[in-house]
Amino acid sequence: MLTYLEAIRQAMEEEMVRDPRVFILGEDVGNYGGAFRVTQGFLEKFGPERIIDTPISETGLIGAAIGASLFGMRPIAELQFIDFIGCGFNQIVNYAAKSRYRWGGGVPIVIRGPAGAGVHGGPFHSQSPESYFMNVPGLKIVVPATPTDAKGLMLAAIRDPDPVIFLEHKFLYRRLKEEVPAGDFTTPIGEARVARAGEDISIITYGAMVHASIEAADLVSAEGVSVEVLDLRTLLPMDRRRILETVKKTGRALIVHEATKTGGPGGEIAAIIGEHAFEHLDAPIVRVAPPDTPVPYSPPLEEHFLPNAAKIADAIRALAEY
């Protein structure tokens, strides 16, 4: 049994044993074991040349990861909180994302860190920044929802020839535990998975919201509504085929995410459905997502901000009645 966090740790650890090109750099990843202890014990095991405590300089550490990757290394850059990714924005969206396009140079790096709310982190330690990067061709964005996927997707991300932003949900780190296959396996980047099968309504979601959606689906099943939950797992590139498959089957689409609503991934998903499955729809596409505000600190406000099973269940009922 591994927690979500342990699964990420195991994937990196095993790959570092297998592949000497893999190394980790980030703030306090060595001595301290990482702000969330994801790299606990790595310094002792792999030494300071492969587990690098960087100064607090995100541009520097992401840039260094890019540079090393151009010479064949497989760096993993950790951000203590994904909110700090803004400090390395240029390196990601200009250099890493467009290198291959400009001159054929692949940038096989993983940029990983804890995202998401639910731990009262306040406006700068709770964000879901996936939408900032979805508009950048050349990047891949991965958002595991389960320990097994966390491991499989991490292994796939490290081996991927292109830059991968790996968004870990900090709320899930120690709250999820499951049997994770031992040893080497990958979960393909770009493939969604049906997390819960159903007939009447499709929920398209990812990350921590997969669990809230399943909970909501369980709530309404007693009322006779059968809900399918599609876990996207990768946001860029997005698995259009599976999105369309489930929507064509049910005719009703509910999109749930933790990123704020306007400009969030839901708009893209809705557009894909609108463009390719319009005639299969029996109801308007609905989004459940936080309103367009920063993430507030105060627990009752944060609760108001976040989607949860009750809010999703309400949306399901309304959609079922349409």
Partner 1 sequence: MPKKSAALKSRASAPAKSAPPAAKASTAARSEVVKPLAPGKTSKGAPPLDRAEARRLYRQMLLIRRFEERAQQIYVEGKIGGFLHLYIGQEAIACGIMSLLHKDDYFIGAYRDHGYSLARGADPKPLMAELMGRATGISRGKGGSMHFYDIPNGNFGGDGIVGGHIVVAAGMGYAIRLRGSEQCVVCFFGDGAINEGAFHEALNVSSLWDLPVVFVVENNMYGMGTSVERASAVTALHERGAAYNMVHLPCDGMDIVKVRDTFADAFARARKEKKPTFVEVITYRYRGHSMSDPGKYRSKEEVEKWQEKDPIARLGMFLLDHKFATGKELEAIDKDVMVEVDDCIKFSEESPWPPAEYMYEDIYVKTPTLNWRAVEKDPAWERSLPDDRVPVIYPPHVSQGVK
Ligand X SMILES: Cc1ncc(C[n+]2csc(CCOP(=O)(O)OP(=O)(O)O)c2C)c(N)n1
Note the residues at the interface with partner 1 (CB under 8 A): 27-28, 31-32, 35, 53, 55-60, 83-84, 86-87, 119-125, 261-262, 291-294, 296-301, 304-305
Structure tokens at 179: 């049997």
The distance between the two most distant Cα atoms of the chain, rounded to a whole number of Å, is: 60
Rounded to the nearest whole angstrom, what is the least distance from the CB of residue 153 to partner 1 in the complex? 27
- Cα distance between residue 155 and residue 176, in whole Å: 19
> Which of 84, 162, 248, 267 forms a contact with ligand X (CB under 6 A)?
84
Rounded to the nearest whole angstrom, what is the least distance from the CB of residue 300 to partner 1 in the complex? 5
**Residue type at position 287:** R
| Position with the least CB separation from ligand X | 84
Residue in this structure with the two tokens 């260094």, named with its chain if needed:
64
Is 91 a binding residue for ligand X by CB under 6 A? The answer is no
Rounded to the nearest whole angstrom, what is the least distance from the CB of residue 88 to ligand X in the complex? 9
Nearer to partner 1, 122 or 190 (CB): 122
Is 87 a binding residue for ligand X by CB under 6 A? The answer is yes
Nearer to ligand X, 84 or 89 (CB): 84
Residue in this structure with the two tokens 């508009």, named with its chain if needed:
135
Rounded to the nearest whole angstrom, what is the least distance from the CB of residue 7 to partner 1 in the complex? 21
Is residue 176 classed as helix, strand or coil in its secondary structure?
Answer: coil
Nearer to ligand X, 32 or 191 (CB): 32
- Phi/psi for 2 (5° steps) reads -125, 145
Cα 77 to the center of its chain, rounded Å: 15
- Cα distance between residue 205 and residue 242, in whole Å: 12
> Which of 54, 69, 80, 148 forms a contact with ligand X (CB under 6 A)?
80
Rounded to the nearest whole angstrom, what is the least distance from the CB of residue 239 to partner 1 in the complex? 28
Nearer to partner 1, 161 or 294 (CB): 294
- Cα distance between residue 41 and residue 184, in whole Å: 20
Binding residues among 181-240 for ligand X as defined by CB under 6 A: none
Alpha helices in the chain (DSSP H): 4-18, 42-46, 58-70, 89-90, 97-103, 130-134, 147-159, 209-221, 240-250, 265-277, 299-305, 309-321
Residue 39 partner contact from partner 1, ligand X, none using kind-dependent CB cut-offs of 5 to 8 Å: none
- Cα distance between residue 219 and residue 216, in whole Å: 5
**Residue type at position 169:** H
Is 56 a binding residue for ligand X by CB under 6 A? The answer is yes
Nearer to partner 1, 55 or 183 (CB): 55
Rounded to the nearest whole angstrom, what is the least distance from the CB of residue 64 to ligand X in the complex? 15
Distances 93 to 132, 192, 200 between C-alpha atoms, Å? 10, 25, 39
The residues assigned a catalytic role are 125
Q: Which stretch binds ligand X (CB under 6 A): 80-88, 103-111, 134-142, 194-202?
A: 80-88
Question: What dihedral do alpha carbons 298, 290, 196, 237 form, nearest 10°?
Answer: -120
Nearer to ligand X, 29 or 155 (CB): 29
Is 27 a binding residue for ligand X by CB under 6 A? The answer is yes
Contact residues for ligand X, defined by CB under 6 A = 27, 56, 58, 80, 84, 87
